[in-house]
Amino acid sequence: MERLAKIKLVITDIDGVLTDGSLYYDENGEALKYFNVKDGLGIKMLLACGIQVAVLSGGDTPILRRRIKDLGIPLFQLGKMSKRQACLDLMAQAGVTAEETAFLGDDTLDLPAFEVCGLAIAVNDAFDYMQAQADLVLTRKGGHAAFRELSDMILKAQGKEEVYSTADGFMKVVHQMAQ
């Protein structure tokens, strides 16, 4: 997709996109959340290649903050039910236009973000009405390397596929992906 070549910022939802949407509770509240390590590497590869990544979620928990910190994601908005304004704020912080921004989502809460970002992308298990409003529907489900699928597509569209497809290409950026 030609529009992927222009992307300078990827804004992603968390629950249902970077996770499978499951919430695990104990008597103290949310105790666990499942993240896919392949998505994490996709985030790090984009960042190492100069493509900004931002996280936007209606939720705000210590687990989410920990994952964001572990991945070194500098831009995020948590506890934001108004995703339209949050996306505009993130684009301003990143210094990019709507045309240079992709949003990856899965549910109704993400529809306002779809409207203001230049490229609206849905995970494969997003509801039909979300997929109908998306510019692109991924083949992978949320929590099952959907973000990685998108990151590979962006890198390929921008001529940087060696980062994920060859050992030498990966080694050129691995030092920028501090754990």
Q: Which tokens in the block code for residue 74? A: 């500098």
Lowest mean pLDDT across 41-50, 56-65, 86-95: 56-65
Hey, what's the torsion of the CAs at 145, 64, 89, 108, to 10 degrees? Answer: 60
The whole-chain average pLDDT of the chain stands at 94
Q: Check: CB of residue 39 under 8 Å from CB of residue 33.
A: no
Residue-level pLDDT at 178: 61
**Number of residues written out for the chain:** 179
Which residues sit opposite 57 in a β-bridge? 78
- The model's pLDDT over 62-94, given as tens digits with 9 standing for 90+, comes to 889 999 999 999 999 999 999 999 999 999 999
Are 47 and 72 spatial neighbours (Cβ–Cβ below 8 Å)? yes
Q: Kindly tell me the burial class for residue 5, based on how many C-beta atoms sit within 10 Å of its own C-beta (0-12, 13-18, 19 or more).
A: exposed
| Rounded mean pLDDT, 152-168 | 96
Which residues make beta-bridge pairs with 52? 9
pTM of the model: 0.95
**Helix, strand or coil, per DSSP, at residue 120:** strand
Distance of alpha carbon 122 from alpha carbon 145, whole angstroms: 13
Q: Can you tell me the mean pLDDT for 142-168?
A: 96
Q: What is the DSSP letter of 139?
A: S
